[in-house]
Structure 1
Amino acid sequence: MSPCSFMTGILFGALLLVTPGDARAGQVASVSVAGAPLFDSEKFQLTDNDIAKLSQHQSALVKFGCDGTNKTTQPTRKCKVFPGDRQWPSQSAWSAFDDLLGGALIKTVPLAASCYSSWPQYDSAECERISSQWTDSYLHAADPASAMWPLFEGRTCLPTTNASASCTVGGYSSYAVNVSNVAQIQLAVNFARNADIRLVIKNTGHDFNGKSTGAGALGIWTHNLKDIEYYENYRGSGYQGPAVKMGAGVQAFEVYEKGQELGFTAVGGEGKTVGVTGGYVLGGGHSPMSSLYGLAADQVLALEVVLANGRFVTVTEESDPDLFWALRGGGGGTYGVVTSIISRVYPKVGVTVSTFNFSTGKDVSVETFWAGVRSYLKRFPTHADAGTYAYFWIMPTGPNAFTFLMNPFFAANHTVDEFNALVQPWYDDLHELGISFQPNSTYYDNFYDGWMAGFALETVASSTMMTSSRLFPRTNWDTPASLNATLNALRATITDGFALLAFNMKAELQEGFTSNSANPAWRQTLMHAITSTSWTNTTSDADIKVKMDGLTKAVGKWRAVCPDSGAYMSESDIQEPHFQQAFYGTNYDRLYRLKQRYDPTALFYAPTGVGSENWVVKSLAGLPDQNGRLCRV
């Protein structure tokens, strides 16, 4: 038998590896070429010596893969092995796998199963609790399989008052590994690859397209890898200065709290529960600090990663420049499972946070309202170049009625007086137009307090809406004509009933930073714009698809005014036309080649991810969700 031959359907017995609590074996040296010690969770690794203890049949499903050069590893089966298939691992195989993991394997129970009498977990009081918290992102982040956008799971088990309704696991992973060490990730990667079952990775489940879901999958849940270590004078990858090492499960509020405690400012998400070290940073990651420092991916100096062959590696510019480039912006769930990253951080920074609104009404006509919006829009280059980040809404509130909501204008490195001086030209125009507004502006001497005051907890888990987005480049501000075309495109979609949520910001690669695979469109962006469509709980699947198609078509007005730009993959339309260009730009061909090198068996699949065009999910509802068998095209 070739050591890299593909084998499936073989039962294996309990494996004889030590548990994480046994420090005598399974431990490796803490030295890392990243220039910082491994976390304790990273020192416990699966090794060739562990596999060598097993019989050939026992090791068949947990042995390491090849290095990516041996094409005999490519399975010939058209679809991933699915529950009910003859090749699906038996219950005894799952039990043995759980023994090896130290009891970390979780059989998925949908978060709302307590609402359904057909499930053993049925409990009306628990159902009421889950229902009352359903839109809270903390609830879903703390579950091994749940996602923030159940539409893309398949909406198979939502909270209900009808206890006799149907609840299935649907597009959630069949099992999940509650990861506490690297060895467990390696075992899960090897098990899924060798059994040819789908593998998904969940950190928090924030991705707008449900990348952490997948019917019949084994999930790797990295949420509890919470280590954070601050280095005041880190040295590595051509950088010397303050840095932070974060485990894969660290969320924005956690690293920001640590920064508040120790006096540093990190480039992380706007949302409180976003997993900073997960798909957020791997997909680029925009931040309230991006106008000053760039994307989160730009800050990364080193990564610890489990590859598709099961090997644990440290990735830096020196150790593997290709993979270092691809991981920083090329998308989550694509090249490996990241266990930690080291990122540069910055000194403490003060910030002014301001909120206000204005609307059409008796004294503000529709044309006057849009003149006020245009006055704001034309100042985007000045505001972004000043290092600010604005989060605003423009919403239709009725026939020929609109509201503008600034919530908030986040001006890092600005006192209130400096902020007022920056926005005074816009304020002067609003006053001249007769638009009344009452700014509420407050200065905070640190990022954390300003961020806490400025950004509310995310509202998630709607199953009756979907989003689309576009990155608008600086060239759209080059002339009055191009600015008018941009405004007209936005106005047309809003007038048609689509709300606009947008960010005025920039995300340029800073001088001296190593280039990465983040969408090149980010480097020219002055506005990240998002819109959405919605329906009711009783809307049929066919009519939902009509709504989804209508949104994709509506955003065509935005694409038409910046055809060479793109969109942010983590906050996007899953039906984005030509997603390769939209999400990856000119980087796509190189990313695709690297995908074939580092993941030749296509273990890692994510919707709209690199190489995803080679696959299709056979959705039971006929929607672009993950509730169906994953098959090769």
Structure 2
Amino acid sequence: MARLGGVRINLDMNLAPAFGIVPTTLPAFGYGSGPLCGPLAPLASDWAALNDTVEGRLHFGHPWAKPCFSIYNGNKVQPNYEECAHVQDNFFNNHLNRSHAFGGYASTQFEACMATEESCLLDWTNAKNPSSFTTPQQCSQGSISPFYIDVRKKEDVMAAFQFSKEKGVTLTIKNTGHDFQGRSSAPDSLGLWIKHEPEFVAEGCDVEGQSAVTFGAGSQFHDLIEFAEAHGLQVVAGSDQSVGAAGGWAQGGGHSPLTPNYGLGADRTASRFPHTRFDLQYKVVTPDGVYRTVNKCQNEDLFFALRGGGGGTFGVVLEATMMASPRQSFRMANINWPPNNNNLREVLEIFLNNVTTFAKQGFGGYLTPTIGNLVLISPVPDLDEAQDLFKPLVELTTKMDGKSSVAEIASLHEWFQGWVDGRNGEQDPVGLPVALSSRFVPAKNHETESGRAELKEALINAFAHSAFSQIHITTAYGFKGSKGLDTSVHPSWRTALYQVIFVNSWYWDGTMADQQLAYTESTKAANYLREITPGAGAYLNEADIHEPNFEESFWGGHYPRLLEIKKKYDPDHLLDCWHCVGWKGPQEPQYKCYI
């Protein structure tokens, strides 16, 4: 069993940076009477006692760009030019460094308070643009938790839950900040930070030709992929270095270019090997204060919930064990064309005619209209078969003066280095506001010529309403290992060929109208597909924050069972997040920054 250790959970409250100096009153951040700044705010002595309990790991949380500003929460402060330079150098599109900062989020509107337009953000088009951070610009707390706990052990989490229950303080759970729903931040909350620590400390356990990897909840795919490669293994992994492997990715389902052949992340923790002592599992502290081992043999209902029910809902996962496979070579189709609407229409026609076959052959990957690229990988066919399969697309795009090929790559690690770490392609950027929506597209929409024609027009119209869009051929349609009945992911993951995402954004000084327009356009884009895919649903981690009928859209018929499990393990409802199972609704103070 290989283990990647190091878990941090942040409880966001407003303490002094060095806890030896504790303010007698907590500062108000301008958002009203939240649990940290209103009449019910815990006393300084309460915070001191909590800090003692967690052995001095209660810290002050502040926005990542704060060192660049001269005014913070209405008060004059001295900029830290060295720290500011680091933030500026890494502000836009540095996935790993941004994820390693407590106040850093991939989608920066969740560092801010959208509803009040209060933020602490640099110009993502030019982070050294002085007009974004010099006076009269101010740095406001936004949605960053003013206190957090650096969690190192299960007792820290237990203390946080007890504090929340006794003092009425809202909790948030932050892993890496790769979050499109704002579920890992909230104003006036106590944050639980699961911080990145890259050390693996134990070897894998071979079982029936398989093996498994155990890692701490702060582990990111960058390190997990490197570890697997060094040990002759591969794991189902998301296509971003900074995503936490055990956090919301796996707990929400977890898709990957390997999913058509190997299943979802939720499937990789879903099997029990017979005749062994080893179960694929989670270790979690539930809000009732109990540390639990969760697998197919114990706490089975919670095991079901944690494999698709969503992160930040049922407890704080401290460790996960996931199936690994022997390292394999892949056939990779890299199809490129000059991006324009006419070329896209021709590419889409061939793609829609053949994507069902692609999925059945284990091919997974991404089609990105804005850069004119389709990249797919599979370990199933040999090179000659793969070249025949993609011959129509290669010939078409070559005539368009695109450079396309079908080739052999040695491992998933090679793919990850080239198309995720960015050596051979562009990665989706972070460090800017992201108004996102998405939709599953079922295989049945591709069964007839008229269905494919309708779908092509819907996609073209939807793309026109998004600044960035992408087709993710990362569903479990071609996966033969499980029907997924023991996971809580939406059944559409098994019947859809892909999901489509739509993204709009705004500039650092964008107005409320700009923000609303971005979300409205993303919703309009998704509506073109919603109209022709009734009941198909959406991926809860990459969905519209205004997703209609979210309970059905994210979980289908699983929602009633998930709600009962939520009530069982979180009877006091200490964990709540936007559009999560058991969500209290937008009227709660922690959601006052949403628009």
Between the aligned partners of 1:93 and 1:121, the Cα distance in structure 2 is 29
Aligned to 1:5: none
Equivalent positions of 1:80-91 (< 5 A) are 82-91=35-44
Query: 1: distance between equivalents of 2:535 and 2:152?
Result: 43
Closer, same or farther: CA 541–415 of 1 in aligned 2, 3 Å: same
Matches of 1:173 and 1:368, distance apart in 2: 47
Cα RMSD of the aligned pairs, angstroms, is: 2.7
CA contact (8 A) 1:333 1:604 kept: yes
Q: Which residue of 2 aligns with 1:166?
A: 138
Alignment-derived partner of residue 132 in structure 1: 89
User: Would you say the 8 A contact 2:330–2:379 is kept in 1?
Assistant: yes
User: C-alpha separation between the residues in 1 aligned to 2:405 and 2:369?
Assistant: 18
SS in 2 for 1:215: coil
Matches within 5 A, 1:202-221: 202-221=174-193
Aligned to 2:161: 189
CA distance in 1, matches of 2:3, 2:42: 33
Distance 1:391 1:39, change over 3 A: closer
1:419 matched to 2:392? The reply is no
Match of 1:333 among 302, 308, 312: 312
Q: How has the CA–CA distance of structure 1 residues 82 and 483 changed in structure 2, closer, same or farther, with 3 Å as cutoff?
A: same
Partner of 1:172: helix, strand, or coil?
Answer: coil
SS of alignment partner, residue 337 of structure 2: strand
Moved more, 416-425 or 553-562: 416-425
Greater C-alpha Rg: 1
Q: Which residue of 1 aligns with 2:104?
A: 146
Q: 1:541 Cα deviation (Å)?
A: 1.0
Return the offset for 1:464: 4.2
SS at match of 1:232: coil
Post-superposition Cα deviations, 1:219-239, rounded to whole Å, max 9, x if no partner, equal: 1111245454443325xxxx8
1:248-397 map, 5 Å: 248-300=217-269, 301-359=280-338, 367=342, 369-395=344-370
- Write the distance in 1 (CA, Å) between the matches of 2:234 and 2:591: 45
**Equivalent pair of 1:350/1:414 in contact (CA under 8 Å):** no
Q: Does 1:576 align with 2:543?
A: no
For residues 445 and 239 of structure 2, the distance between their equivalents in structure 1, rounded to whole angstroms, comes to 25
Deviation of 1:367 after TM superposition, in Å, equals 4.9
1:80, 1:198 within 8 Å by CA — same for their partners in 2?
no
Q: Which amino acid is the alignment partner of residue 530 of structure 2?
A: R
- The aligned counterpart of 2:409 is 444
* Cα pair 1:305 1:314 within 8 Å, conserved: yes
Compute the displacement of 1:146 (Å).
2.5
Secondary structure class of the residue paired with 2:285? strand
Instruction: Report the Cα distance in structure 1 between the residues aligned to 2:447 and 2:314, rounded to whole angstroms.
Output: 38
User: Aligned pairs, how many?
Assistant: 535
2:231 aligned with 1:231: no
1:483 is aligned, of 436, 452, 476, to: 452
Give secondary structure in 2 for the equivalent of 1:276.
coil
Residue-by-residue CA offset, 1:319-349 (whole Å, 9 max, x unaligned) = 1221110111100000000011111111111
TM-score by length of 2: 0.84
Change in CA separation of 1:613 and 1:261 when aligned onto 2, cut-off 3 Å = same
Shift of 1:462: 4.2
Which of 525, 541, 548 is equivalent to 2:512? 541
The 10-residue stretch of structure 1 (444-453 or 564-573) with the greater mean CA deviation from structure 2: 444-453
Q: How far apart in 2 are the matches of 1:184 and 1:622?
A: 28
- Answer yes or no: is the 8 Å Cα contact 2:364–2:377 preserved in 1: yes
Partner AA of 2:438 in structure 1: S
- 1:483-528 Cα shifts (integer Å, max 9, x gaps): 1111110011224565421122331464457621012111112111
- Please identify which structure carries the higher strand content: 1
Identity of aligned residues (%): 26
The equivalent residue for 1:123 is 80
Which residue, out of 519, 544, 559, partners 1:588? Answer: 559
* Gap runs ≥5 in structure 2: 8-31, 114-118, 123-131, 270-279
Question: Which AA in structure 1 matches 2:65?
Answer: A
Question: How far does residue 620 in structure 1 lie from its aligned partner after superposition?
Answer: 9.1
Higher deviation after alignment, 611-620 or 309-318: 611-620
Instruction: Specify whether residues 279 and 620 from structure 1 end up closer, same or farther in structure 2 by C-alpha distance, changes over 3 A only.
Output: closer
Match of 2:65 in 1: 112
**Residues of 1 paired with 2:349 and 2:34: CA distance?**
54
CA–CA distance in structure 2, aligned partners of residues 622 and 309 of structure 1: 28
Q: Which runs of 5+ in 1 are unaligned?
A: 1-35, 43-78, 396-402, 625-633
Deviations 1:208-258 (A, max 9, x none): 112110111111111245454443325xxxx88411111101111111111
TM-score after normalising by structure 1: 0.79
Asked whether 1:98 is paired with 2:51, we answer yes
Counterpart amino acid of residue 341 in structure 1 = A
Residue 451 of structure 1: CA displacement?
A: 1.7
Question: For the residues of structure 1 that align with 2:433 and 2:299, how far apart are their CA atoms?
Answer: 43
Is structure 2 residue 497 aligned with structure 1 residue 526?
Answer: yes
